Homo-oligomer: A and B are copies of this chain.
Amino acid sequence: MVIIMRTDARQQEIDHVIDLVQRSGFQPFVNHGVERKVIAVIGAMDADKVQLADRFSLMPGVERVALISEPYKLAARASHPGGTLVRVGAVTIGGPTLAIIAGPCSVESRQQTLSTAEEVKAAGANLLRGGAFKPRTSPYAFQGLGREGLEILAEARERTGLPVVTEVMDPHDITLVAKYADVLQIGARNMQNFRLLQRVGEAGKPVLLKRGAGCKVKDLLMAAEYVMSEGNHQVILCERGITTFEDTTRYTTDINAVPVLKALSHLPVVVDPSHATGDWRYVPAITRAAIAAGADGVIVEVHHNPAEARSDGPQALEPARFAALMADLGKIARAVGRRMPRKG
């Protein structure tokens, strides 16, 4: 922590800051700059001391306080430099083989889900996505099939062998969802639902954590820290588009976040081009870009009849287009030294 004094700070104000630094168990180091004094604070900045920065920033004569260390610890690259591998059944996420997570936005029926699962598996996916509990912007929209949807997903896993990724929205539902799912997804709108983060941290299943559309990369890492601080280090980070002023797409894919997250954290990173664009026509380009940028995988919405989908149809790929994309993606994967999942 570095405390920057105002140019007109009086000696008494400086002395008070130094005094509080010492009483807080740190060692102050005063740099007598030409324009102003700067006080470096030396000592272990444990998590419970982070709020001291706020306190110093309010003392008379203080201009501002700059933190040197990041507030996330367990999620930081330094805590696990080699990179984390998340294991889901026979699939390993974060290693040389890409995670291709595909399926419908919502589980709408047994028939739709089973056939889509077969199709994405045939095209090369190694995990199945599908929503049984749906966070919808409108209270009048389809809210998902709930438990019935989970049972359908479990049947699809049994038939295809694909592990299931599905969202949990309420701490109360975690036990139920964890009974059927292989990976618990936290949706973008719940990324800072801290109670939910803590509870999935206790559930002992891998977590796919989507970045909130209005949240910074560092907020995402702090959300991961919430899950990890409960003892669950099997977290997958997911970039799914941020809100910006641009209006030709629903969100703006923050492609920079892919190399940034890989640099700042050891956790695997996947990209969701379906939500990040909101338009199936742009999904193939952004899927390719994600892998080229170094993502460990993608999560893509596939629907056998997007015009009939009960949620987010405009962003879903038809199975044939998804299969064509997978073929292209294999070439991109090889170009960056990665492998597509082995089929079948």
Report which A residues bind B (CB closer than 8 A).
2, 4, 7, 29, 31-36, 38, 40, 42-45, 47-48, 50-51, 54-55, 57-59, 66, 68-69, 71, 78, 135-142, 169-172, 189-190, 192-196, 198, 212-219, 222, 225-226, 229, 242-249, 252-260, 263-264, 276-277, 281-282, 285-286, 288-294, 306-314, 328, 331-332, 334-336
Contact = CB atoms under 8 A, between A and B. Distances in A.
B248 A242 contact: no
Contacts of A285: 258-259, 292-294
B246 A247 contact: no
Contacts of A246: 216-217, 242, 254, 256-257
Given A255-B255, A292-B289, A71 B2 contact: no
B314 A57 contact: yes
A51 B331 contact: no
Chain A contact residues, majority secondary structure: mixed
Contacts of A290: 289
A172 B172 contact: yes
A229 to B, nearest CB: 4
Nearest to A2: B2
A336 B54 contact: no
B314 A58 contact: yes
A289 B289 CA distance: 4
A142 B277 CA distance: 35
A108 B217 CA distance: 30
A249 B137 CA distance: 21
